[in-house]
Structure formats: structure tokens, C-alpha cells
């Protein structure tokens, strides 16, 4: 059983600010740093640290940043499937304010050129016991094709529908679990509450949905005629929220692949995301394998 994460990998540059700038304003950051990131890479590393067997299918440039990305991922992901392009490697600039809120701007030339079905052996490696995880960084056509291939192969599909393309309709016909934050859920659904949004996501084809609610935890609408479940998050001091959603998605996928129920896997994912917001960085904030193993022993997995 393998978790196939299909998505972007990039170099993140993070600026920590007392507050966000307004239009036309220049601010000096209190600190800045660089590191490995990208939603695909972040989620793959988080999944791997659960003990799951993980393959990352990604795209990088034939440049110095591409080499750095490959070198850093090699220590985390046993099966790194990187397609290279004569384009600049993807990058993100992340602004984090004093409250830990963030704004992210990304250059995604490689991700947008990446067509995993045409350019890789992904379709020949996905099997019925596997999990395929997608995000919104690839083109909509490539994303839909990968999800459809995975569904046809009998794999479980998890779609973190972020970032959202402006004006794009979100196709959930081949999605077993859709994961979005509250703002994204309301935008996709046109509804005013997370509970209403979850119902719309189901109507659009998703078998189940997870809507993250920040410090309030998440709302989970399971498959079938079920009521939504609100899962509280531990109370923590937020330092930087920029990597939390990716940690949640990756940890959830990893634990589902190794046999936990969706509810139990989500419990672990919420715990991991709460830990992530207490640390700086995106991938750097992800709990270690040892930390996740320790939490797995002490967490009451089915308790809400």
C-alpha cells in the first residue's frame, strides 16, 4: 500500500512581520528564512513520518533550486519521482504576522507544466490498495485526470482543493475525501456556514469532506447518511499557521493508508496540525516521526 502524493515542491522564503503591509507600503521583516516547501512536498513528508510508504510525484526546474529541492527531499521520501523542466523551479514567498496568520504568493511554472498522466509512470504504479493525494497547484485538467485515473484503479482519492484557481469550478466527482479550509469551503459552496458547505461538497460528488476551522479544529462529514462531526483542536499558542493545513492533510493520508479509520486518522491529523502552528516554517513545522509515534500511543483515537 502506497500513498502517492502528486503535487508541487518549491523553495519557501518566509518573512516574519509585526503586521501585514498595506498597498504601496514597504516593511522591514523582523526575520526571514528559506526552506523546502510546496503543498505536495509538505504533505508527502508529513505522510511519510506516519510510517506510511510514500511516493512523491513532482516537478522541478533544471536549476540550482531544483537540485536543492531534490537533495532535501531525498532524506525524507524513499520514492521521489521528480520530472524536470527548462523552467525556474517553483517558489513561494510567505508573510507571517505577529498573530501567526499568513499570506502566501507562489510561482508555479513547473507545477502548471506538469502532466503526471502523460509525463510519468504514475498510472502504471497506482493500485487498488493505494491512496492518491492531490492539491490545487497543478492545472485543473491534470488534477482531474489524475483523480479519475486513481478512481478507475480502485485507489482512495484525497483532494486538498487549495489553492483555488480564480473562477474555476471544483470537480469532486472522483474524490473520496475533500479537504479545504473554512474560507475555501464557503467560496466553493457559496454558503455561509461550514456545515452547509459540507453538504454542498457532498452534493458535488465528494464522498466525505473535512473542513478545517483553524483554532476551532475541523468539521468532518463522513461518507453516507451521516451528520457532521466537529472535532476540537488542542488549545495552543499560535506562532505560524502557514504549514498546518499541509500537515493535517499528509498525516491524515498516511494514517488512513496504514489502516486507521478516517475518524481516527483525522484525530491524529488535528493533533499534528495543532503542534505545527506552535513552530515556525512550513515543512519545518511538521512533527517528527518519533513525535507522531508518541502521540499515536497516547491519543484516544475515536474520541471527539
pLDDT confidence band for 171 (50 / 70 / 90): confident
Residue 158 near residue 134 (C-beta atoms within 8 A): yes
Q: Report yes or no: 218 and 262 within 8 Å, Cβ to Cβ.
A: no
Torsion 187-8-256-148 (CA) sign: positive
Residue 273 confidence (pLDDT) above 90:
yes
- Please check the confidence at residue 233 and state whether its pLDDT lies above 70: yes
- Determine the Cα–Cα distance for residues 188 and 190; give it in Å rounded to an integer: 6
Q: Which three cell numbers stand for residue 85?
A: 523542466
* Residue 269 · residue 255 · CB < 8 Å: yes
Please give the Cα distance from 152 to 150 (Å, whole number): 5
Domains, the chain, in order of start with CATH, read 3-22+31-298 (3.40.1190.20)
Contacts of 292 (CB under 8 A, 6+ apart): 49, 50, 51, 251, 268, 272
Angstrom distance (rounded) from CA 14 to CA 153: 39
Q: What is the pLDDT of residues 107-145, one digit of tens each?
A: 999 999 999 999 999 999 999 999 999 999 999 999 999
pLDDT digits (tens, 9 = 90+) for 24-40: 999 999 999 999 999 99
The C-alpha atoms of residue 69 and residue 88 are separated, in whole angstroms, by: 12
Residue identified by cell 458535488 is 204
- In percent, the amount of the chain with pLDDT more than 90 equals 84
- Which is the catalytic residue, given 12, 90, 240, 246? 246
The model's confidence at residue 179, banded by pLDDT at 50, 70 and 90, is: very high
> How is residue 2 written as a grid cell?
502506497
Distances (CA, A) of 79 to 4, 120, 186, 229, 268: 9, 13, 36, 35, 24
Once rounded to an integer, what is the mean pLDDT over residues 278-300? 89
Q: Is residue 246 annotated as part of the catalytic site, yes or no?
A: yes
Q: What's the grid cell of residue 225?
A: 447518511
Q: What is this structure's pTM? A: 0.94
Binning pLDDT at 50, 70 and 90, where does residue 284 land? confident
Amino acid at each position: 500500500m502506497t500513498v502517492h502524493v502528486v503535487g508541487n515542491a518549491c523553495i519557501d522564503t518566509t518573512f516574519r512581520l509585526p503586521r501585514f503591509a498595506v498597498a504601496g507600503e514597504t516593511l522591514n521583516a523582523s526575520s526571514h528564512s528559506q526552506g523546502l516547501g510546496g503543498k505536495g512536498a509538505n504533505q508527502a513528508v508529513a505522510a511519510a513520518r506516519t510510517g506510511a510508504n510514500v511516493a512523491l510525484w513532482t516537478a522541478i526546474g533544471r536549476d540550482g533550486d531544483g537540485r536543492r529541492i531534490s537533495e532535501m527531499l531525498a532524506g525524507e521520501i524513499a520514492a521521489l519521482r521528480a520530472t524536470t523542466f527548462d523552467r525556474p523551479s517553483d517558489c513561494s514567498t510567505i508573510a507571517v504576522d505577529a498573530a501567526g496568520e499568513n499570506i502566501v504568493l507562489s510561482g508555479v511554472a513547473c507545477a502548471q507544466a506538469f502532466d503526471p498522466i502523460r509525463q510519468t509512470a504514475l498510472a502504471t504504479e497506482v493500485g487498488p490498495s493505494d491512496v492518491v493525494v492531490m492539491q490545487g497547484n497543478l492545472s485543473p485538467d491534470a488534477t482531474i485526470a489524475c483523480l479519475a485515473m486513481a478512481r478507475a484503479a480502485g485507489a482512495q482519492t484525497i483532494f486538498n482543493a487549495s489553492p483555488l484557481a480564480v473562477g474555476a469550478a471544483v470537480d469532486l466527482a472522483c474524490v473520496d475525501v475533500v479537504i479545504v479550509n473554512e474560507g475555501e469551503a464557503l467560496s466553493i459552496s457559496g454558503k455561509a456556514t461550514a456545515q452547509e458547505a459540507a453538504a454542498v461538497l457532498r452534493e458535488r460528488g465528494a464522498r466525505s469532506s473535512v473542513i478545517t476551522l483553524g483554532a476551532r479544529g475541523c468539521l468532518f462529514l463522513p461518507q453516507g447518511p451521516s451528520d457532521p462531526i466537529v472535532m476540537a483542536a488542542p488549545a495552543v499558542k499560535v506562532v505560524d499557521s502557514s504549514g498546518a493545513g499541509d500537515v493535517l492533510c499528509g498525516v491524515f493520508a498516511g494514517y488512513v493508508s496504514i489502516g486507521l479509520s478516517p475518524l481516527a486518522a483525522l484525530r491524529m491529523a488535528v493533533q499534528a496540525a495543532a503542534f505545527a502552528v506552535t513552530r515556525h516554517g512550513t515543512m519545518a513545522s511538521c512533527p517528527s516521526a518519533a513525535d507522531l509515534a508518541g502521540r499515536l500511543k497516547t491519543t484516544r483515537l475515536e474520541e471527539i
